Structure 1
Amino acid sequence: MTTSESYLANLYAEDYQSHSFRPTYPGGYNNWFASAKPLLSRLLGLDNMASELEKHQPTVELKKPEQQSGYTRQVGYIETEPNIRLPFWLLRPLDCCGPFPLAITPHGHDQNGHDSYAGVYQDSDHRRQSLAMDRDVAVQAVQNGFLSIAPASRGLSFASNYVPDTYDRHGNRDCRSHFMHAILAGRTAVGERVWDMMRLIDWASNLPEVKSDSLLMMGNSGGGVITMYTAACDERISTAVASCSFSVIASKQGRIFHCDCCAIPGILRWGELYDVCGLIAPRRFLAVNGIKDQPSDNKNPLVQV
């Protein structure tokens, strides 16, 4: 074992993870859940946001819908905190009046990600690439009978509270610039994204044409991270699908699998990503991983979940 591996083994020892689930946890799953969930919310910065924003009432603005093949598509904006307007695409099936199951599809590191998911393309190259990579998930959802919403992800989209690395202090990585500003204020970038998704659920689940007891959330990469953490914190999500995002947080060799902007300070004193996903139980969770993912990186996390 190298010096760095020895250091990491000590640093990330499971004995330090106070809420990593184990079969012998006192009181079993229910007691673990009751203790682990509030602490995760605190680590994400959601408690701070709830306190700071308790007087804010989110508002939604919808533009005129446009008819597509078998569905309508319209742009909307939700103000999840004062002066923070999150754009989204709302796609409704045309062939019946509902109620429809709801699908929300947060994106990852794609500066036009909500457009890609909703089938709104900049040009022919954008369209070709998006379809080749199966990114039009909100379109696929509406074609399968969902009312689907493709929101911009805060800090990952030009359209949503983008904080650029103006002075090149963060390796010319705008998402990391946003993350740093968030943690300085007692938040996390992931926590802000979870907050946005929860406010969107508040609004969408009350639409008369929505079946509020059937809510799918799915996203790829950073969108999968948003999906896992939101589903862990919000029991209204009945099915969570995380694509190219489920893994351990850090490997024994020192590889941190996700972008810095997905970091949660102190998370490995709480538990691992499989513990985050464990909070989704007994609801449905599907992890979709790529063919180049190393089985050794995911075998133990899958067993733990």
Structure 2
Amino acid sequence: MTDSILFATDKYMANLDDSVVRTFDYKQALDGGDWTQWQRSFRKQLSSLTGLTEIREQNLHLPLSPRVVEVQSFPGYRREKIYIATEPGIEIPFYLLLPTEGEGPFPLVLTPHGHLRKGKEIYAGNYINPEEREEHLASEADIALQAVAEGYATICMDVRGFWEMSRVEEFSNNWVCSCNELQKRAFMYGRTLIGERVHDMGRLIDYAATRTEIDTEKITITGFSGGGTVSLFTAALDERISVCVPGAYFCTFAGSIMNVPHCLCNFIPGIMKLGEMYDIAGLIAPRPLLIVNGVDDPIFPIEHTREAFAHTRAIYEAIAPSHPDRCELYEGNGGHRYFKERVWPFVRQSNRTEE
């Protein structure tokens, strides 16, 4: 068999690109100047496309029904393990970490994880042996511990499809996640895992608002890889997020999701008819956005990250010309991992600016 008779993917993609004019290409708003209408209409369409609008409506009156099942004390913080309802019969397991020093209410940090089988356990520092601890500390994956050490109330959850939110079939076989099986089922009903995960983040914010120890006027969301995906889309679709720091994710769809093998959970049918990833990031403006990517990340190539950032920066400069520093790219010296060096100074400065 010769290459000449195999499917011509490059030509196929060129045909698709030529056939689509993105409805919410930011350049249209750049020409017209009506950014408020652009964001409002785009957010509404994106919410519908991901299935989020319908999910929210179906669960609008569902009680949170919180269950606190464990409380532990650690140096510098107290940790509660809690479950809340997100859909009938479906609960989100999460840790709430509260600083034991300083005066509340404490600003909130949400820390969605990526493709880590043990999900929240890794971000919260629950390691089974020294080797596992060394592995994840090397990639600075203890994000929940970083956040609470900085003085933030921190919610560290299992993202839908992982650990306690994975299906028994995958969990019992030690698979990393249930993303493929859950996504296929979601697609059949006009939903997506991204929409479901953004809904879950919203339910966690709803719960945080019931806690007097937490200041829900200041909410940061940060995670890396799949956690970066959840961070970006949650901030784009839920305006309660004050600061967004997606790690090891931000790029162009063309240069990453459609160019390098990725988990099915990254895909939203029809998204390219609405906008590129940098257009979606424009829905966060003028709220602070720090993009953190490694220069050697093989699945989110840095040249495409830089390209996407230039577009998003143009949106920020148009919407908030007096605050161009609210949109920043930090390039870490490494691959597909988290880089904390710039994260917490950026979050601190952003929280001060909002006061």
State how far apart, in whole Å, the 1-side matches of 2:47 and 2:105 are: 31
Match of 2:11 among 6, 13, 29: 6
Contact 2:278 2:311 in 1 (8 A): yes
1:148 Cα deviation (Å)? 0.5
Matched, 1:28 2:31: no
State how far apart, in whole Å, the 2-side matches of 1:14 and 1:223 are: 32
1:13 Cα deviation (Å)? 4.1
Q: What letter is aligned with 2:17? A: Y
Query: Structure 1 residues 159, 165: closer, same or farther in 2, change over 3 A?
Result: closer
Q: Which has the higher helix share?
A: 2
Q: What letter is aligned with 1:213? A: E
1:205 Cα deviation (Å)? 2.7
Match of 1:297 in 2: 304
State how far apart, in whole Å, the 2-side matches of 1:46 and 1:154 are: 14
Match of 2:51 among 41, 45, 56: 45
Match of 1:239 among 234, 238, 243: 243
Instruction: Name the count of aligned residue pairs.
Output: 300
Matched, 1:110 2:110: no
User: Residue deviations 1:80-116, cap 9 Å, x none?
Assistant: 1111111111111011341101001000111112011
Matched, 1:17 2:22: yes
Q: What letter is aligned with 1:96? A: G
Contact 1:8 1:254 in 2 (8 A): no
State how far apart, in whole Å, the 2-side matches of 1:3 and 1:161 are: 36
Contact 1:164 1:175 in 2 (8 A): no
Contact 1:163 1:178 in 2 (8 A): no
Matches within 5 A, 1:22-171: 22=27, 23-155=29-161, 157-162=162-167, 164=169
SS of alignment partner, residue 181 of structure 1: helix
User: Residue deviations 1:235-271, cap 9 Å, x none?
Assistant: 1111111010001112399504642211111100000
Contact 2:117 2:176 in 1 (8 A): no
User: Residue deviations 1:117-143, cap 9 Å, x none?
Assistant: 011122222222121111111111101
Q: What letter is aligned with 1:295? A: I
1:163 Cα deviation (Å)? 6.5
Matched, 1:229 2:241: no
Q: What letter is aligned with 1:219? A: G
1:4 Cα deviation (Å)? 3.0
After TM superposition, the score normalised by the length of structure 2 is 0.79
Matches within 5 A, 1:198-213: 198-213=202-217
Query: Structure 1 residues 254, 99: closer, same or farther in 2, change over 3 A?
Result: closer
1:73 Cα deviation (Å)? 1.2
State how far apart, in whole Å, the 1-side matches of 2:39 and 2:241 are: 16
SS of alignment partner, residue 255 of structure 2: coil
Match of 1:255 in 2: 259
CA RMSD between the two structures: 2.4
Query: Structure 1 residues 211, 246: closer, same or farther in 2, change over 3 A?
Result: same
After TM superposition, the score normalised by the length of structure 1 is 0.91
Name stretches of at least 5 consecutive residues in structure 2 with no aligned partner.
1-6, 313-355
State how far apart, in whole Å, the 2-side matches of 1:253 and 1:198 are: 25
Identity %: 36
Q: Give the 4+ runs in structure 1 shifted more than 4 A.
A: 163-166
Query: Structure 1 residues 208, 253: closer, same or farther in 2, change over 3 A?
Result: closer
